[in-house]
Amino acid sequence: MHAINKYSLFNVSKKLCGCFKYASHFVYHPEQISNKFGKTNKKNMYQAINEAMDLVLSKDSNSVVFGEDVGFGGVFRCTSGLRDRYGKDRVFNTPLCEQGIIGFGIGLAVAGTTAIAEIQFADYMFPAFDQLVNEAAKYRYRSGNLFDCGKLTVRTPCSAVGHGALYHSQSPESFYAHSPGLKIVIPRGAHKAKGLLLSCIRDPNPCIFFEPKMMYRLAVDDVPDDDYEFPLGKADVLIKGRDITLIGWGTQVHVLLEVAEIANKDFGISCEVIDLVTILPWDKQTVANSVKKTGRVIVSHEAPLTGGFGAEIAASIQEECFLYLESPIRRVTGYDTPFPHVFEQFYLPNKWKCLQAVKELVNY
């Protein structure tokens, strides 16, 4: 299942220059961070992720990093330098076989080794679906806690990249959200990525860490050099507002932040923006508190509408906040089509679609 790697993706975009415009559909909002985690430096998301793995490998001698092409640094450079530092027994290539990678990772974790597996693109996780859903997710439960694979973390690049088409753009989080036993986490940038990845690796449950690939180079934050973690299962309220709640994760958070700015500036609408951060188990409390205050809500994700995680959030909100809702819950998402190549700009739930939804709901 070899993917067109990052280089070919970028090369294609250069060669076709003039035919297509690959400006990203969002503006990255760097993190405003306190210095509570110590000294920081400007890093992009792949560097932050690399640092997280570097920290784990240096502190935990029984930890390994593996997957397709991770040895030379990975097709997105996330593992660069690690093999030189920790040896080819601890940072290594596997044969090209996703079900093998995850099964192998589970076995490492069962034996107590910290296993950080990489699936080259989230689009190629499906061959490992059985190992993730039937095995990893259910290991502790079915054995009465005799065995578990809590030391397994699966990292994988996900979401739109401008021209990734069907198999380099998918956001498959909702497939896994239906699988009790897994934790699913998606960072919105470099600062969050490092802390959340460290939490995932150390969490005693198997975690899937989706990395929105468009942000690998684009998302530059002040990232602490030290070790730090963020709690899993906790959403972040990024902008406080009165009129409507906007919920997203990953890249889409930045779309929503921009929507909030425009809505405020041009229409005087006060939006509350929430990054869900963890898809499973998700932070219902933070979401419900916000919706009870604003009375209106939009959930927005790149993945298709039907069966998307937005449906789960919307259903829970109507159950928790029925008496507080002043308009229907709206989902602004990808369409129920495969992710297209030349139509990407029409497909994505971009800021204009979200803005239209905000105006419609506020005027409902």
281 prior amide bond cis, ω within 30: yes
The single residue among 9, 49, 109, 259 that binds other proteins, judged by CB under 8 A, is 109
Structure-block tokens of residue 86: 């920790």
Q: How many CA atoms lie within 13 A of 133 on its CB side?
A: 13
Q: Do the beta carbons of residue 37 and residue 226 sit within 8 Å?
A: yes
The single residue among 7, 72, 147, 352 that binds other proteins, judged by CB under 8 A, is 147
Q: CB 28: neighbour CB atoms within 10 A?
A: 21
Of the ranges 131-139, 241-249, 258-266, 333-341, which one interacts with other proteins (CB under 8 A)?
131-139
- The DSSP symbol for 62 reads S
The single residue among 30, 180, 231, 328 that binds other proteins, judged by CB under 8 A, is 180
Cβ of residue 197: shortest distance to other proteins, in angstroms? 18
User: If binding is defined by CB under 8 A, does position 41 make contact with other proteins?
Assistant: no
Instruction: To the nearest 10°, report the CA torsion of 200, 74, 248, 12.
Output: -170
Q: Do the beta carbons of residue 330 and residue 361 sit within 8 Å?
A: yes
Place of tokens 């989230």: 122
Cβ of residue 102: shortest distance to other proteins, in angstroms? 8
Select which of 25, 168, 254, 301 is catalytic: 168
Strand pairing class (330-334; 271-275): unpaired
Of the ranges 20-28, 77-85, 144-152, 244-252, which one interacts with other proteins (CB under 8 A)?
144-152
User: If binding is defined by CB under 8 A, does position 144 make contact with other proteins?
Assistant: yes
User: If binding is defined by CB under 8 A, does position 318 make contact with other proteins?
Assistant: no
- The DSSP symbol for 340 reads P
Select which of 98, 118, 258, 344 is catalytic: 98
User: If binding is defined by CB under 8 A, does position 150 make contact with other proteins?
Assistant: yes
Q: Which is nearer to other proteins, 139 or 230 (CB)?
A: 139
The single residue among 30, 38, 81, 204 that binds other proteins, judged by CB under 8 A, is 204
Structure-block tokens of residue 211: 């990395």
Structure-block tokens of residue 75: 């097709």
User: If binding is defined by CB under 8 A, does position 40 make contact with other proteins?
Assistant: no
Residues 206-245 that bind other proteins (CB under 8 A): 233
Q: Do the beta carbons of residue 175 and residue 131 sit within 8 Å?
A: no
Cβ of residue 131: shortest distance to other proteins, in angstroms? 6
Taking the C-alpha atoms of residue 272 and residue 292, their distance in angstroms, rounded to an integer, is 12
The single residue among 138, 292, 293, 341 that binds other proteins, judged by CB under 8 A, is 138
User: If binding is defined by CB under 8 A, does position 11 make contact with other proteins?
Assistant: no
Residues 6+ apart with CB under 8 A from 349: 252, 255, 300, 301, 302, 332, 333, 334
The single residue among 145, 268, 322, 323 that binds other proteins, judged by CB under 8 A, is 145
Known catalytic residue at 168: yes
The single residue among 50, 120, 205, 252 that binds other proteins, judged by CB under 8 A, is 205
180 prior amide bond cis, ω within 30: no
Q: Do the beta carbons of residue 253 and residue 219 sit within 8 Å?
A: no
User: If binding is defined by CB under 8 A, does position 131 make contact with other proteins?
Assistant: yes
Residues 251-310 that bind other proteins (CB under 8 A): 281, 284-285
Burial of 144 (0-12, 13-18, 19+ CB in 10 A): exposed
Taking the C-alpha atoms of residue 193 and residue 29, their distance in angstroms, rounded to an integer, is 14
- Mask: binding to other proteins, 76-95, rule CB under 8 A, as x and -? -------------xx-x-xx
The single residue among 30, 112, 231, 328 that binds other proteins, judged by CB under 8 A, is 112
Known catalytic residue at 163: no
Q: Return the bridge partners of 332, or none.
A: 300
User: If binding is defined by CB under 8 A, does position 321 make contact with other proteins?
Assistant: no
Radius of gyration of the chain (CA): 20
Total interface residues for other proteins by CB under 8 A: 50
User: If binding is defined by CB under 8 A, does position 67 make contact with other proteins?
Assistant: no
Residues of this chain that bind other proteins (CB under 8 A): 62, 64, 89-90, 92, 94-95, 97, 99-100, 102-113, 115, 127, 130-131, 134-135, 138-148, 150, 180-181, 183, 203-205, 233, 281, 284-285
Catalytic residues: 98, 168
